[in-house]
Structure formats: structure tokens, C-alpha cells
């Protein structure tokens, strides 16, 4: 199909509108991309400056439970605590002060 001069006249009057639409599409993509990158940057900054709550492991929970049980037992039975103290304390061992100072080299 060949172009007629009349078709060219109508096309030339519409060229400025087509050019504006194409430039708006290109600019729209750039603006959209810059907005997305700005949003991602803001999100990353928030993550860097935020403090996350740690999840407690089962081990730490078990340790905390043991400590709490010991404290509650001590509060309930102060007599037991006094009774256990002598058992846990060992009497001092007797040591010979001259032990290891005299070496016998005769064979």
C-alpha cells in the first residue's frame, strides 16, 4: 500500500503528538525506576537502623527455667540451703610442706 500525499499531511500533523507520547513513555519508565530504587533504598536504611528481636533458643529457655527453679527452691526451703552448704564445702586437705623439696638421686 502506497502512501498518498493526503496521508502524509495527516501524519505530519500528528508527528508532534507521537513524539510527545514516546518521550513520555521513556521518561515514565525512568521515573518509575527511580521511585522503585528510592523505595528500596529507604527500606534498606530502615533495616540497617532497626534492632531486631532475637529468638530465644530452647537451650537458653531451659537455662532460664533451671535458674528460676533454683531460686524458687531456695525461697521455699531455706533450711535445705543451710543443710546443703556443709556438704558442698569440703574440709581443707592436709599438705606436707616438705613434699617435693627433697629429691633422691641415688640409684
Question: For every residue of the chain, which 3-state class applies, written as one string?
Answer: CCCCHHHHHHHHHHHHHHHHHHHHHHHHHHHHHHHHHHHHHHHHHHHHHCCCCCCCCHHHHHHHHHHHHHHHHHHHCHHHHHHHHHHHCCCCCCCCCCCCCCCCCCC
Q: What is the pLDDT of residue 56?
A: 64
Does 11 have pLDDT greater than 80?
yes
Q: What is the pLDDT of residue 40?
A: 95
Q: List the chain domain ranges.
A: 13-43
Note the pLDDT tens digit of each residue in 23-77: 888 888 889 999 999 999 999 999 888 887 766 666 677 777 788 888 777 777 6
- Cα–Cα distance between 69 and 91 in angstroms, integer? 29
Q: What is the pTM of this model?
A: 0.34
Amino acid at each position: 500500500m502506497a502512501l498518498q500525499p493526503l496521508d502524509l499531511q495527516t501524519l505530519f500533523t500528528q508527528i508532534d503528538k507521537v513524539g510527545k507520547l514516546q518521550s513520555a513513555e521513556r521518561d515514565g519508565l525512568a521515573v518509575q525506576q527511580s521511585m522503585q530504587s528510592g523505595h528500596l533504598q529507604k527500606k534498606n536504611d530502615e533495616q540497617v537502623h532497626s534492632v531486631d528481636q532475637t529468638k530465644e533458643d530452647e537451650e537458653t529457655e531451659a537455662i532460664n527455667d533451671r535458674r528460676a527453679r533454683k531460686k524458687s527452691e531456695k525461697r521455699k526451703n531455706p533450711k535445705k540451703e543451710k543443710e546443703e552448704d556443709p556438704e558442698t564445702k569440703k574440709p581443707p586437705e592436709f599438705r606436707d610442706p616438705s613434699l617435693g623439696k627433697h629429691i633422691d638421686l641415688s640409684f
